[in-house]
Structure 1
Amino acid sequence: MQDTEPARAGGRLTPADYERNFSDLHPPLQKHEAAVEADRCYFCYDAPCMTACPTAIDIPLFIRQISTGNATGAAKTILDQNILGGMCARVCPTETLCQEACVRNTAEEKPVEIGLLQRYATDTVMAEGTQFYARAAATGKKVAVIGAGPAGLACAHKLSMAGHDVVIFEAKAKAGGLNEYGLAAYKTTGDFAQREIEYLLEIGGIEIRNNMALGRDFALGDLSRDYDAVFIGIGLGGVNALGIPGEDLDGCENAVDFIETLRQADDKAAVKVGSHVVVLGGGMTAIDAAVQAKLLGAAEVTLCYRRGAEAMGASAFEQELAAAKGVFIRHYLAPKEILGENGAVSGVLFDNTAIENGKLIVTGDTGIIAADHVLKAIGQTFVADHLDGVKLEGGRIAVDEDGLTSLAGVYAGGDCIKRGEDLTVTSVAQGRDAAIAINKMLASEAHASAVA
Structure 2
Amino acid sequence: MAEFSTPTTAQEFAENFAQLKPLMNRTEALYESSRCLFCFDAPCIQACPSGIDIPQFIRQINSGNVTGSARTIYEANYFGNACGKVCPTEVLCEGACVYNLQDVKPIEIGRLQSYATTAAIKENKKLFGPGPANGRRVAVIGAGPAGISAACELRSLGYEVTVFEAKAQPSGLTVYGVAPYKITNEEALAEMAYLQGQFGYEVRYHAPITGRANLAALEAEYDAIFLGIGLGKTSALGLPGEDKINCVGAVEFIEELRMRQAEMQVGRTVIVLGGGNTAMDAASEAARLGAETVLLAYRRGKEEMGAYEFEYSLAKGVGVKGLFNVAPLEIVGDDYVAGVRFIRTAVVDGRVQEVPGTEFVQPCDMVIKATGQAKQTHFLHHIPGLELDNRGRIVADAMGQTTNPQYFTSGDARNGGAEVVNAAAEAKVAARGIYAYLSQ
TM-score (norm 1): 0.92
Give the aligned partner of residue 362 of structure 1: 354
Tell me the secondary structure at the aligned position of residue 95 of structure 1.
coil
Q: Is 1:252–2:247 an aligned residue pair? A: yes
Give the aligned partner of residue 399 of structure 2: 402
Equivalent residue for 2:52, pick from 34, 53, 57: 57
Give the aligned partner of residue 105 of structure 1: 100
CA shift for structure 1 position 204: 4.0
Identity of aligned residues (%): 44
Query: Contact (CA 8 Å) 2:8, 2:263: kept in 1 or not?
Result: no
Corresponding letter in the other structure for 2:168: A
Q: Is 1:375–2:364 an aligned residue pair? A: no
CA shift for structure 1 position 409: 2.2
Map 1:93-242; keep pairs closer than 5 Å. Answer: 93-106=88-101, 108-216=103-211, 219-242=214-237
Query: Contact (CA 8 Å) 1:149, 1:175: kept in 2 or not?
Result: yes
Unaligned runs of 5+ in 2: none
Tell me the secondary structure at the aligned position of residue 90 of structure 2.
helix
Equivalent residue for 1:321, pick from 311, 314, 317: 314
CA shift for structure 1 position 106: 3.3
Query: Contact (CA 8 Å) 1:233, 1:413: kept in 2 or not?
Result: yes
Tell me the secondary structure at the aligned position of residue 337 of structure 2.
strand
Equivalent residue for 2:305, pick from 300, 312, 316: 312
CA shift for structure 1 position 216: 4.9
Give the aligned partner of residue 68 of structure 2: 73
Please, which moves more after superposition, 424-433 or 382-391?
382-391
Unaligned runs of 5+ in 1: 445-452
Counterparts in 2 of 1:372 and 1:61: CA distance versus 1, 3 Å: same
Please, which moves more after superposition, 225-234 or 187-196?
187-196
Corresponding letter in the other structure for 1:376: K
Tell me the secondary structure at the aligned position of residue 106 of structure 1.
helix
CA distance in 1, matches of 2:92, 2:359: 38
Counterparts in 2 of 1:273 and 1:107: CA distance versus 1, 3 Å: farther
CA distance in 2, matches of 1:218, 1:54: 36
CA shift for structure 1 position 372: 0.2
Equivalent residue for 2:280, pick from 270, 277, 287: 287
Please, which moves more after superposition, 152-161 or 326-335?
326-335
CA root-mean-square deviation: 1.9
Query: Contact (CA 8 Å) 1:161, 1:203: kept in 2 or not?
Result: no
Query: Contact (CA 8 Å) 1:23, 1:189: kept in 2 or not?
Result: no
Corresponding letter in the other structure for 2:116: A
Q: Is 1:89–2:84 an aligned residue pair? A: yes
Query: Contact (CA 8 Å) 1:261, 1:271: kept in 2 or not?
Result: yes
Counterparts in 2 of 1:37 and 1:407: CA distance versus 1, 3 Å: same
Equivalent residue for 1:264, pick from 259, 265, 288: 259
Tell me the secondary structure at the aligned position of residue 66 of structure 1.
helix
CA shift for structure 1 position 315: 0.7
Tell me the secondary structure at the aligned position of residue 303 of structure 1.
strand
Q: Which of the pair is proportionally richer in strand?
A: 1
- Number of residue pairs matched? 434
CA distance in 2, matches of 1:244, 1:149: 31
Runs of 4+ in 1 over 3 A off after TM superposition: 3-6
Corresponding letter in the other structure for 2:317: A
Query: Contact (CA 8 Å) 1:160, 1:203: kept in 2 or not?
Result: no
Map 1:16-35; keep pairs closer than 5 Å. Answer: 16-35=11-30
Q: Is 1:424–2:392 an aligned residue pair? A: no
Deviation per CA, 1:131-162: give whole Å up to 9, x if none. 20022211111100011110000000011111
Corresponding letter in the other structure for 2:338: S
Please, which moves more after superposition, 348-357 or 276-285?
348-357
Tell me the secondary structure at the aligned position of residue 191 of structure 1.
helix
CA shift for structure 1 position 356: 1.6
Deviation per CA, 1:318-337: give whole Å up to 9, x if none. 10000001111222111111
